[in-house]
Amino acid sequence: MTVEVLYQTRASATGGRAGNAHTDDGRLTVALSTPKELGGDGGAGTNPEQLFAAGYSACFLGALKVVARQLKLEVPGDASITATIGIGPRSEGGFGITADLAIHLPGIGHEDAQKLVNAAHQTCPYSNALRNNVDVGLTIV
């Protein structure tokens, strides 16, 4: 697979799940903490799964807008995506993640919404990265 890179960014983390992370350009700096469910203290910081959920939901909404233009449809301004990301031990060993997207497209009929969601799932880079590795649930709400 070849990717023509149009943009790239860089972030660094120190201290693992109980440390800090920041982008090289200084636009994002976050304290990290491990959830109690994963053996951490559940501190005030964020965690990689929350960052992934925020990124995936924003990216998928962007993909919806791209494919909507191609299909001559319009994504309403109040459209939203809620990504639920889970983490836990895999039966094969190690840890894995789960991903479910709840897609809210008010004012769009179910048939058109399904076309948009299917096309966006083929376009979104997060979806493409997960394909064949993580089952992604897509629910139009």
CA distances from 99 to 47, 80, 87, 131 (A): 15, 16, 9, 11
Residue 17's pLDDT is what?
A: 93
| pLDDT tens, residue by residue, 61-108 | 999 999 999 999 999 999 999 999 999 999 999 999 999 999 999 999
Residue with tokens 């031990």: 89
Q: Taking the domains of the chain in order of start, what are their residue ranges?
A: 1-46, 48-140
Task: Report the C-alpha gap between 43 and 32 in whole angstroms.
Answer: 8
Considering the domain 48-140, what is its CATH architecture?
2-Layer Sandwich (3.30)
Looking at CATH, the fold of the domain delimited by 1-46 is given as N-terminal domain of TfIIb (2.20.25)
Average pLDDT, the chain: 96
| pLDDT tens, residue by residue, 46-62 | 999 999 999 999 999 99
